[in-house]
């Protein structure tokens, strides 16, 4: 079934890779090595995040416990280009996150989450070109597919195609409603509201000097206090429901414009899809806010706003495409990102719902390539493969490498 350029298909073959990635991410979150299944761009973003945490003196640990199952028949959205298929595989986890500084706990939260991963696989057993730029999964050096199959020229490690794919190019964490946890919380809060209201009402009734017996005063205080407490609790829950609904409707009003501008881009680039665009802007934003200086990144041509400097974890909730201008095959897009972020400010960890506007640009004369990575590019002039994440010219021939001719780059964040 196909909807808006992407399809919903069965991904049972990705059940085991999904569980493997969850285990690898759990180890990484607790100070372990990089997930082997992560793509080079995802590894780069995770490394930038770890460096930022270390520079702030923070230690973040997350324990993931599988609540559901990623086995049997798994269905999710998928989208493809000429060579690759990107598939979404989802699962339910219980995550406990601890953040400390100098052996002092600053933050702890246990929640049920949805963990969505984007796996990239070869499309229908397609055989990519041997000259396709690719990073060595072992040492991270820029190379080509042909060189990796025969042996990386830096570490001499050889790979089979099955060892290179599938790989995870992105992941998303969303906190889910915990019915049992909230039921216990509601009972506790209701008891507190009623108890406090009864005590205050009884004190008022007993000392107002009304001509009634002590038993009548106590009975009236209990009944009136109970009613008032229940009403106050109901008002609090109503406010929470309104807030929860507003939080979960973020970005809903911009769905129409997002679909309109996405279709506009797709008319120029048939390989473009909303899912691909979501994954790309999430990766770009994370790299920018996790880096020490965003302007040092090849994918970013601006500084991050000061309010984003204290973000230590960013998860995309929704996004809107606000505008899209295409002239001479140059596509300039403005998006609004609705995010759930963790901030570290003044020695405290705060969970916030954030909204940022971001402008990005790309030459769309060539179709989207899902397998493109700034970690391993091919110079258009000499054909040399190199890591373009922090350089603006080919190290072999010296010619300028224009990143926006191959992928999206950030031009402004506010």
Closest residue by Cα to residue 360 from 390, 377, 393, 337? 337
Gap between the Cα atoms of 264 and 322, Å rounded: 13
Gap between the Cα atoms of 393 and 103, Å rounded: 44
Q: Which residues contact 292 (CB under 8 A, 6 or more apart)?
A: 51, 52, 55
Residue 368 C-alpha from the chain's centroid: 21
Burial class of residue 314, CB neighbours in 10 A (0-12, 13-18, 19+): buried
Residue 133 C-alpha from the chain's centroid: 26
Residue ranges of alpha helices (H) inside 323-395 are none
Identify the helix (H) or strand (E) that includes residue 243. Answer: helix 214-248
Using alpha carbons, list the distances in angstroms from residue 309 to 102, 125, 285.
21, 43, 12
The pLDDT score that the predictor gives to residue 3 is: 46
The pLDDT score that the predictor gives to residue 161 is: 65
Gap between the Cα atoms of 166 and 14, Å rounded: 8
CB under 8 A, 24+ apart: contacts of 188-194: 189/233, 189/236, 190/229, 190/230, 190/233, 193/229, 193/230, 193/232, 193/233, 193/236, 194/225, 194/226, 194/229, 194/230, 194/233
Kindly report the number of other CB atoms within 10 A of residue 116's CB atom: 17
The pLDDT score that the predictor gives to residue 204 is: 77
Closest residue by Cα to residue 21 from 33, 43, 34, 37? 37
The pLDDT score that the predictor gives to residue 4 is: 44
DSSP 8-state class, residue 33 = P
Positive or negative torsion for Cα 140, 143, 38, 408: positive
The pLDDT score that the predictor gives to residue 155 is: 78
The pLDDT score that the predictor gives to residue 5 is: 47
User: Structure pTM?
Assistant: 0.80
Half-sphere exposure of 255 (CA within 13 A, CB side): 5
Identify the helix (H) or strand (E) that includes residue 409. Answer: strand 409-413
Gap between the Cα atoms of 180 and 186, Å rounded: 10
The pLDDT score that the predictor gives to residue 355 is: 95
Closest residue by Cα to residue 11 from 115, 89, 120? 89
Gap between the Cα atoms of 170 and 191, Å rounded: 44
The pLDDT score that the predictor gives to residue 177 is: 63
Counts of helices then strands in the chain (DSSP H, E): 8, 15
List the chain pLDDT tens, one digit each, 414 residues.
444 444 555 567 788 888 899 999 989 988 888 898 998 889 999 999 999 999 999 999 998 887 655 444 455 677 777 778 888 888 888 899 999 998 899 999 988 888 889 998 888 767 777 777 777 777 777 777 777 777 777 777 776 666 678 899 999 998 876 666 667 777 888 888 888 888 888 777 777 756 667 677 777 778 888 888 888 888 887 877 776 666 777 888 898 999 999 999 988 988 888 888 999 999 999 999 999 999 989 889 999 998 899 999 999 999 999 999 999 989 999 999 999 999 999 899 999 999 999 999 999 887 787 778 888 888 888 888 888 888 888 888 888 888 888 889 999 999
Burial class of residue 193, CB neighbours in 10 A (0-12, 13-18, 19+): buried
User: Are the C-beta atoms of 314 and 308 separated by less than 8 Å?
Assistant: no
The pLDDT score that the predictor gives to residue 358 is: 96
Kindly report the number of other CB atoms within 10 A of residue 402's CB atom: 11
């Amino acid at each position: 079934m196909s909807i808006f350029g992407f399809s919903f298909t069965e991904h049972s073959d990705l059940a085991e890779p999904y569980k493997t990635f969850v285990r690898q991410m759990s180890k990484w979150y607790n100070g372990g090595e990089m997930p082997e299944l992560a793509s080079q761009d995802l590894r780069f973003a995770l490394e930038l995040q770890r460096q930022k945490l270390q520079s702030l003196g923070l230690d973040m640990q997350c324990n993931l416990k599988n609540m559901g199952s990623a086995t049997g028949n798994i269905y999710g959205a998928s989208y493809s280009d000429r060579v690759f298929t990107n598939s979404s595989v989802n699962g339910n986890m219980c995550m406990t996150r601890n953040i400390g500084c100098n052996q002092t706990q600053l933050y702890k939260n246990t929640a049920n989450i949805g963990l969505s991963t984007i796996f990239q696989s070869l499309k229908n057993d397609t055989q990519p070109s041997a000259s396709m730029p690719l990073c060595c999964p072992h040492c991270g050096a820029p190379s080509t597919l042909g060189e990796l199959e025969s042996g990386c020229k830096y570490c001499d490690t050889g790979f089979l195609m099955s060892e290179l794919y599938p790989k995870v190019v992105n992941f998303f964490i969303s906190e889910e409603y915990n019915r049992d946890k909230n039921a216990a919380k509601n009972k506790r809060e209701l008891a507190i509201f009623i108890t406090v209201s009864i005590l205050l009402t009884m004190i008022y009734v007993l000392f107002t000097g009304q001509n009634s017996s002590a038993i009548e005063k106590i009975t009236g205080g209990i009944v009136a206090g109970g009613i008032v407490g229940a009403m106050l609790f109901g008002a609090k829950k109503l406010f929470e429901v309104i807030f929860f609904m507003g939080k979960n409707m973020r970005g809903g009003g911009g769905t129409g414009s997002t679909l309109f501008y996405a279709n506009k881009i797709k008319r120029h680039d048939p390989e473009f899809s909303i899912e691909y665009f979501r994954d790309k802007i999430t990766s770009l934003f994370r790299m920018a806010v996790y880096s020490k200086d965003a302007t040092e990144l090849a994918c970013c041509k601006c500084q991050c706003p000061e309010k984003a400097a204290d973000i230590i974890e960013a998860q995309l909730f929704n996004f809107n495409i606000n505008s899209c201008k295409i002239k001479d095959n140059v596509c300039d897009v403005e998006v609004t990102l609705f995010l759930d972020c963790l901030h570290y400010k003044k020695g405290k960890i705060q969970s916030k719902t954030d909204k940022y506007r971001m402008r990005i640009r790309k030459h769309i004369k060539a179709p989207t390539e899902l397998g493109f990575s700034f970690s391993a590019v091919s110079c258009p002039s000499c054909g040399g493969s190199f890591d373009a994440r922090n350089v603006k010219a080919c190290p072999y021939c010296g010619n300028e490498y224009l990143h926006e001719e191959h992928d999206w780059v950030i031009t402004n964040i506010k």
